Amino acid sequence: MTHQRTLTAAHWGVYEVEYDDAGNATKLHPFSKDPDPSPIGLHMLSDEVSRLRVLRPSIRKSWLEKGPGANPELRGQEPFVEVPWDEALDLLAGELKRVKETYSNHAIFGGSYGWSSAGRFHHAQSQVKRFLNCYGGFVRHQDSYSLGAARVLMPHIAASMEELMAMHTRWDVLAKECKLFVTFGGVPHKNAQINAGGATLHHVKGGLYGMREAGVRFVNVTPTAEDLDNGGDVEWLAIRPNTDAALMLALCHTLLAENLHDRAFLDRYTVGFDKFAATLKGKDAAWAEKITGIPAHRIVTLAREMAATRTMLSIGWSLQRSHHGEQPFWALVTLACMLGQIGLPGGGFGVGYGPVNLMGSPHPRYSGPTLPQGSNPVPDFIPVARFTDMLLHPGERFDYNGKSHAYPDIRLVYWAGGNPYHHHQDLNRLRTAWRKPDTIVFHEQFWTPAAKMADFVLPATTSLERDDIGYGTREPYVIAMKKAREPIGESRDDYTIFNALAERLGVGAAHSEGRKTAQEWLEHLYEEARVKSAKAGVALPPYAEFWEAGIAEAKGESRDPVMLAAFRADPEKNKLKTPSGKFEIFSETIASFGYDDCPGHATWLEPIEWLGAKTAERYPLHMLSDQPADKLHSQLDHSPHSRATKIKGRQPITLHPDDATARGIAAGDLVRVFNDRGACLAAARLSDRIRRGVVRLSTGAWFDPADAGSNRPLEKHGNPNALTLDIGASKLSQGCIAQTCLVEIERYDGPAPVVTAHQLPAFAGR
């Protein structure tokens, strides 16, 4: 018997929801049209996932009994008290009013960094910003952990990351025209399972395999060969982490020294080349070999090969999540300009083929539904990765993108749709800073580490428990995400929660705009998007027809199959949005900022921690903390799919067999990973496809400190951010530097502490 099915969407794909005869959702199936579906979300209906749901509004015991700011050192340790919704909303509305009247809206931080939901209306980040803007504004974050350095740099020298990501040369064009594909940081298929707003058809595996079958040659410059699979041969250059900029400069040096650079392209499409060229003196292949570990002769021949054939350069986002992370991106653009192939089919550069499903998509670009957030009258902001600094150092000044700013004094943190105890670096330092606010509020679906550290936890619905619309940039389908089941416990969607608070605070009309239900908003937002899409040449059916069908195909022509082809064809008519309208190999703007850690041109600056540093004598392993293959960030870490990849209940850490042997470590052993900032337990996984002296501990294991009361506890679960460094990439961007981290590893022979990350918190009575 074939049961009824509807569709839903998540970041990692579209799923078909199967129902039993009684109308209960029983199983999720991969989208039948997807050539390479992701398995991550298939267990969203499982009992194991549901077990950790937040069922009722919960308030930390001390806060409930004593009020704001009571015993902040007990966050994460003492029990919660479950209360009725009306009581929780009354107390929270009163606290928002108190903070606003006592300290102003400049003391409210709207956290909400996270992916939260594929649905465009119930997108938690949009919801919390809309609500706080209606109530007078809030301190916001700028940029992202994923792209902190690149987001600030790239508009100065080329274009915004959003523009560049949406215009990447298509996979089919690469297969036909590209001859040499050189990637710095790989094209990790695991990362491309996702797309903001939801992936529908996954392209990356087919794109890479298609290129290899067409005869494209691949060179993968990375410490770990496991981050590129094309179904065939790949040349692996096992570079030292954080030294890619030095390699690119040496490639530029060879092009210049052997007159292989495209002077005509540089003259017409760039500014500042001669100033940059003067800085290349001494930065030859022999210089780069000492830094990178790549043989000088291979650097020279690679530069010649690039110049001799149609070459595409790609860069992984992980490279700019490092100290001086702007430099490899700037060096890549500079190298591509010297090769002169930007705007040609199969040539030029990409700011990451593989970090998300978007890049290389053959589908048209059009406008999807977007919830308006309103305007924020509070000008204060922080670069997102400076969250701990903000809490620890109110009033202290910081540099950012040419200006000086001051950290605000935050009294209330309002978070929805994210997990700072996943994203942030040096989590032991964050735990200290976490005591600063009077009140911390979370909307949460599950009892994550961050929820357990909050004062208010309000139960939020999942995407399976509400109606919404799934849409992602350059995805071919819009999905009617029809509610598959009733909310678990007393959970409510974010819009309903914020509406109730807005009514209590006297801004209900501004918040709802007269639309009380999600369906009213969905139709309004969809029809708005349909009008905009039509102007872009993409046709969508009327809302009623779309909702009835459950899916709509975005029909239209895929324009601009080659990135920056229009700019190459007419650089005057199609100027870049840089100060000069051209690529800025030397940026007078950045140079004018006077930053010693980010000059006006691409360079290599020694990181604070790397394998060539003095610190490596004590901590001789460079730890990479990449994105996990079994989840998005830390989402669904408690699902059967994620837990099946763990070893002895811990996150696996990959190390070279020689490094393991030197430490008496065998595959599957429990190990302690440590440095001066902290320590965590993980389980050894051995591979000869990682460079000696490098280890890889993927992010996403829920933070699980053994002693919640100590300053530097042993993290039991394998969360690398117990060890990572929390300083800015540079004064320009203040981006995170998670990939700049030295550690040591030893076999852990003591009794293994129980992993408690996936346990419910304690609850108490009144």
CA distances from 611 to 17, 242, 254 (A): 49, 9, 25
DSSP H or E stretch at residue 335? helix 326-339
Tokens 């921690």 locate to 609
What 3-state class would DSSP assign to 721?
helix
HEC secondary structure over 76-104: CCCCEEECCHHHHHHHHHHHHHHHHHHHC
Residue of 63, 115, 495, 748 marked catalytic: 115
Q: Which of 171, 172, 170, 206 is nearest to 36 (CA)?
A: 206
Distance between CA 602 and CA 248 in Å, rounded? 10
User: If we measure between CA atoms, which residue out of 692, 665, 658 comes closest to residue 681?
Assistant: 665
Phi-psi region of 534 (alpha: psi -120 to 50; beta: other; left: phi over 0): alpha
| DSSP code, position 136 | T
What are the Cα distances from residue 699, in Å, to 69, 599, 633, 652, 719?
31, 32, 7, 10, 6
Cβ pair 139, 269 in contact under 8 A? no
Distance, in Å, from the CA atom of 24 to the CA atom of 6, rounded to the nearest integer, reads 12
> Regarding beta strands 621-624 and 694-697, do their DSSP bridges make them parallel or antiparallel, or are they unpaired?
parallel
Q: Locate the DSSP E strands across 123-265.
A: 140-142, 180-184, 217-221, 235-237
How long, in residues, is the chain?
766
Catalytic pick from 12, 15, 63, 113? Answer: 113
Find out whether 484 and 465 touch, Cβ atoms under 8 Å.
yes
User: Which class for 101: exposed (0-12), middle (13-18), buried (19 or more C-beta within 10 A)?
Assistant: exposed
Residues contacting residue 743 through CB under 8 Å, at least 6 positions apart: 619, 621, 622, 623, 673, 674, 675, 695, 723
Annotated catalytic residue 477? no
Instruction: Give the span between the Cα atoms of 659 and 223, in whole angstroms.
Output: 14
| Residue 166 backbone dihedrals phi, psi, to 5 degrees | -80, -10
Helix, strand, coil percentages (3-state) for the chain, rounded to 5, are 35, 20, 50
Is 471 annotated in the active site? no
d(CA 611, CA 692): 11
Cα 613 from Cα 537, distance rounded (Å): 54
**Rounded CA separation 717/642 (Å):** 13
Q: Do 597 and 605 contact (CB within 8 A), yes or no?
A: yes
Query: CB within 8 A of 116, min separation 6: which ones?
Result: 123, 124, 125, 416, 417, 418
DSSP strands (E only) in 347-388: 348-350, 381-383
In the beta sheet, which residues pair with residue 552? 478
Q: Mind telling me the catalytic residues?
A: 113, 115
